[in-house]
Amino acid sequence: MPPNAAAALTKVSLVGQNKTAVVVGGTLGIGAAVARLLAKLGCKRIIISGRDEKRGTAMLETMKKLAPADSRLEVAFVRGDLSDTKGMRAAASALRAAAGAAGIDYLIMTQNGVPKGFIVPNANGHDTGFAIQALSRVALSYLIMKQGGLAPNAVLMSIANQGSSLDDLSVDDLSLKVRAAAGESQTALFMNQSKRDSTVLDSFIEEFNTRYPAYRHFHLWPGLVNTENFTYDELPGYIKYAMWLGMKLIGTTPDQYAALPVYILTSPDAQETLGPGMYFDYKLNPGKLGKWPSDVKNRKALWPVLMEIIGEEGSEQAVSGGEKKERRRHAESVAM
């Protein structure tokens, strides 16, 4: 039986614990709800990030109103666009600096870069949705950790799409350009982009937990959450109707859902109740890795490619032949 997170949180207070939380994608939706709940529980320092300065500043005022007086809440908004490698690297440095010397205790990533069923290349030639949804989580986790920006025992959490597998994913075609060029339909490409995002994130998170056991990195699938900007309009084909029905059946509000990730982060019993797993669904049932991320050979092949994409380990061995060609093609198209 999954725990009742909301009930468990009535016994939790963060006042006096001197915790620093960073919520990426904290201007809206699930991220904003997580930030509000952390403020209510008495978190000491909450830094939110997104592109929209107006919404970000309004959120700071909301959090201050919700915080218990004795928490002496400190808030900050870090503006950043995570659509390409330059933006991801700038955001990692800015967030680390904003958190200060004590480091980040909770790094929660809720930034949205959902599939579209077509490819919009970013400044690096990668699919922009993929860059925001998956690559930016890789970049922020890895770069902030490497720069010493995480507090001891920090918890990282990606709220995105856990548990799917694109079984024939090639690390040479992470943006799925070959499939798109072969004429895959918008609906099929949408489904494959969604599976790809899940595959890459699960693989990275599994590998991160193996390589850096001083930290715990969770990946949660939130089910369907009726956020302020949720829209069916851009969804292709039958997906629109499936989502509409899904929202009716299992949909929650951002504030209802936020209790689950915040329970994992803050409740003293959570680790014992949930066990050692790092993957959970929208009710906190344990999740599993899909076929592709379960294969350690796939994860080992993916890691250096991801590092190269985020601007780390620029060594040529780290890059597969296909990625090199893709980058060359992009460089040529930009130069034309």
Ligand X SMILES: NC(=O)c1ccc[n+]([C@@H]2O[C@H](COP(=O)([O-])OP(=O)(O)OC[C@H]3O[C@@H](n4cnc5c(N)ncnc54)[C@H](OP(=O)(O)O)[C@@H]3O)[C@@H](O)[C@H]2O)c1
Q: Which residues bind ligand X (CB under 6 A)?
A: 25-31, 50-52, 55, 80-83, 110-114, 132-133, 159-161, 222, 224-225, 227, 229-230
CA distances from 283 to 1, 49, 209, 280 (A): 10, 26, 23, 8
Which CB, 109 or 169, lies closer to ligand X?
Answer: 109
Question: Cβ-closest residue to ligand X?
Answer: 29
Is the Cβ of residue 88 or residue 151 nearer to ligand X in the bound state?
88
Rg (CA), the chain: 19
Query: Is the CB of 111 or the CB of 267 nearer to ligand X?
Result: 111
Least distance between ligand X and beta carbon 30 (Å): 3
Of 210 and 253, nearer to ligand X (C-beta) is 253
DSSP state of 52: -
Closest approach of Cβ 8 to ligand X, in Å? 22
Q: How far is the CB of 216 from ligand X (least distance, A)?
A: 19
DSSP-H helix ranges across 70-135: 85-99, 128-130
Task: For ligand X, give the closer residue by CB, 28 or 41.
Answer: 28
State the nearest-atom distance from the C-beta of 114 to ligand X, in Å: 5
What is the closest distance, in whole angstroms, from the C-beta atom of residue 326 to ligand X in the complex? 21
Question: What sign does the dihedral 107-215-134-310 (CA atoms) show?
Answer: positive
Query: In residues, how long is the chain?
Result: 336
Residue type, 55: R
Q: Parallel, antiparallel, or unpaired for β 279-280 and 150-159?
A: unpaired
Which H or E element spans position 309? helix 296-309
**Smallest gap from residue 123 Cβ to ligand X (A):** 12
CA 157 to chain centre: 7
The token duo for 243 is: 């989502």
Which of 284, 278, 260, 286 lies closest to 33 in space, CA to CA? 260
Nearer to ligand X, 172 or 281 (CB): 281
Note whether 70 and 109 are within 8 A (CB): no
Q: How far is the CB of 310 from ligand X (least distance, A)?
A: 15
Identity of the residue, 20 or 110, whose beta carbon is nearer to ligand X in the bound complex: 110
3-state DSSP helix/strand/coil % of the chain, to nearest 5: 50, 15, 35
In the bound state with ligand X, the residue whose beta carbon lies nearer, of 24 and 151, is 24
Cβ 34 to ligand X shortest distance, Å: 9
Alpha-carbon dihedral of residues 185, 191, 194, 200, nearest 10 degrees? Answer: -90
Q: Which of 319, 316, 286, 195 is nearest to 1 (CA)?
A: 286
Distance CA 309, CA 131 (A): 10
**25 versus 125: smaller Cβ distance to ligand X:** 25
CB of 65 to ligand X, least distance (A): 19
**CA dist 314 → 26, 240, 300, 306 (Å):** 31, 41, 17, 11
